[in-house]
Amino acid sequence: MLTANIEKKLPDFTLTMQFTMQNEVLVLFGPSGCGKTTTLRCIAGLAQPDQGKVSLNGDVFFDSQVKENVPPRLRKMGYMFQDFALFPHMSVKKNIGYGIKQPGKKADELYTRLLDLLKISHLTDRYPHSLSGGERQRVALARALMAEPSVLLLDEPMSSLDSETRRELQDELKRLHTLWQIPFILVTHDLHEARKLGDRIVFMEQGRQVEGR
């Protein structure tokens, strides 16, 4: 169970988000600038709330009252952000491999499956600067999935993909979720995608939840 209680002052409003989720797919949906990315960043530890608490299955990652703030790499979260760059000096293969927790047959199988699924097998020796936006996005997604994280945070992971790849990837994400049974938080601007993938949709405006089911 992931619990997030986040209060963070931003230039135009104070982000105030509070939710608890089981091993489900929660979608954050709302207009540009309403605080979706900042919410994910606070959960991942890439931004610090002014007040609040973030915990996963009883492990406290952030607690303003006791000044606890676990660094991102120890939070066991996989994330893929719009601006989260791939390592420029590493090949695609190395970038994806960076996420591996435990090398071995299982990791090799997952690697092959992800390359195949994301149609990036032919890119493994290339470097990020030579990839298109959509290719970079697919490599970044493979890296996030490769780590077999305890929580997966996805910030518009499919925004630069063509509609067919997007549909396939949506289906695969759903399958992976069923298989792994961990919390997924997905930010999307696509209501169809939100409805297809989300067990729950949180509608946000100006840093607050305005509607949800």
Ligand X SMILES: Nc1ncnc2c1ncn2[C@@H]1O[C@H](COP(=O)(O)OP(=O)(O)OP(=O)(O)O)[C@@H](O)[C@H]1O
Which residues here bind ligand X, judged by CB under 6 A?
10-12, 30, 32-38
Q: How far apart are CA 125 and CA 120, in angstroms?
A: 10
* Complex with ligand X: residue 34 or 92, whichever CB lies closer: 34
Residues 27, 14 contacting (CB under 8 angstroms): no
* Complex with ligand X: residue 81 or 111, whichever CB lies closer: 81
In this structure, what are the phi and psi dihedrals at residue 74, rounded to the nearest 5 degrees?
-95, 5
* Complex with ligand X: residue 34 or 123, whichever CB lies closer: 34
Shortest distance in whole angstroms from residue 97 CB to ligand X = 29
Shortest distance in whole angstroms from residue 111 CB to ligand X = 30
Shortest distance in whole angstroms from residue 155 CB to ligand X = 7
Shortest distance in whole angstroms from residue 31 CB to ligand X = 7
Q: Which of 32, 30, 64, 84 is nearest to 203 (CA)?
A: 30
* Complex with ligand X: residue 32 or 65, whichever CB lies closer: 32
What's the token pair of residue 43?
A: 């959960």
Q: How far apart are CA 3 and CA 58, in angstroms?
A: 9
Q: How far apart are CA 57 and CA 76, in angstroms?
A: 12
